Amino acid sequence: MKKNISISLYWKCQLIGWSVAALYWSYIGYSGGRFNVFIGLFQFLSDVFVYILITHLYRNFSIRHKWQQLNLNQLLKRIIPAIFVMGLAYLLVTLIKSYLFRFWLAPDNVPAFMIFFRLNWATMLMAGIRLMAIWLLAYHLYHYAQREINIAKENARLAIIAKDAQLMSLSAQLNPHFLFNSLNNIKALVIENPKSARRAIDLLSDLLRTALYSGDVLLTTVKDELALVKDYFELEKLRFEERLHFCIEADDRLNNVLILRFSIQTLAENAIKHGIAKQKSGGLVSVKIVVVDNYINISVQNPGEFNMDEQNGGLGIKNLTERLQLQYKGKAAFNIINEAGGNVLSTILIPCS
């Protein structure tokens, strides 16, 4: 099998960059007249080879001393002297190369080296400093940008891991919270209505099977969440009897849409605890899920009055608010308001996409 030869980005840039510079110098020589193709080709190859050698030696030096790992201020303190050192290297190499070419082409008309040096050193030094400054800045800025991109990627990865861990922690809090509330309900039924208590235990076992054995699942379908809510309402109805009525309405097209696990159930618990339980005559808890303006609108309405200080201090609502912010990156919304007629409306808005 043939192996594909791959040239790294570094060598591609080296070859292309210095080749373009050498072609430009060849064009200057060509436009000046008396251009020899053979000599021009030799000049081109020698320019590319010599200047790649100088810059590659610098690259090896910087890697060996780990300059790519320095911050910007530390790097600039090293780059500025390096530009002048490499400019001097360019000057010496270019002077010697140019002098040897002149000596080879017209030995009779070549001045002494020191005279040639005095005539050309300033121009060549400035050209060398300019070229090496461009090369060094391009080289280090590329590596600096790559390092910043990698750091940003790593930070983003760590942020996702932290977010997932936080979501898992918040989700884990709900299981004992839910279990505690349910057991309290059954406790109240054991003495008053043993038959209802047995039915409540059956319902609780179904709820636990759904809620506690879902592992580390953070999202669930609307259909499964509503099934959990329905079982919860039935469990609570055994305690409240005719004081509790409930109604669940949802668009069938949303059955398989993923939402936060325990999101609707948290609102249902809140409606029972702060609504039905405080009303002598009880009332209706209504759950509706529809799509409005490209948002999934989840609303739970119950009789009662919303008390911000009391209800915002509860674990369920705090937990739900944090999970919505984390999961949907601030694009979801949660709100509770008092409505006319003595009702409370809790609403979750989740973007459809």
d(CA 249, CA 50): 79
Q: Are 244 and 236 in contact (CB under 8 A)?
A: yes
pLDDT in tens, the chain (353 residues): 455 667 788 888 888 888 888 888 877 777 766 666 777 788 888 888 989 999 999 999 988 988 888 887 888 888 889 999 998 999 988 888 877 877 776 666 767 878 878 888 888 889 889 999 999 988 888 888 888 888 888 777 766 655 665 555 545 554 565 667 667 767 777 877 787 778 878 877 776 676 556 655 778 899 999 998 998 898 888 778 899 999 999 989 999 999 988 889 889 988 988 899 888 898 999 999 999 989 999 999 999 988 766 555 466 788 788 888 888 888 999 999 999 888 999 999 999 87
Residue in the block written with tokens 């000049």: 43
In 231-282, DSSP assigns E strands to 244-250, 258-260
Sign of CA dihedral 302, 290, 227, 313: negative
Q: Judging by DSSP bridges, how do beta strands 343-351 and 295-303 pair with one another?
A: antiparallel
Identify the residue whose tokens are 């020698």.
Answer: 46
Beta-bridge mates of residue 221? 258
Return all residues near 279 (Cβ < 8 A) that are at least 6 apart.
Answer: 243, 303, 304
pTM for the model: 0.53
CA 336 to CA 184: how far, in whole Å?
Answer: 26
DSSP H helices, 251-314, are 263-274, 308-311
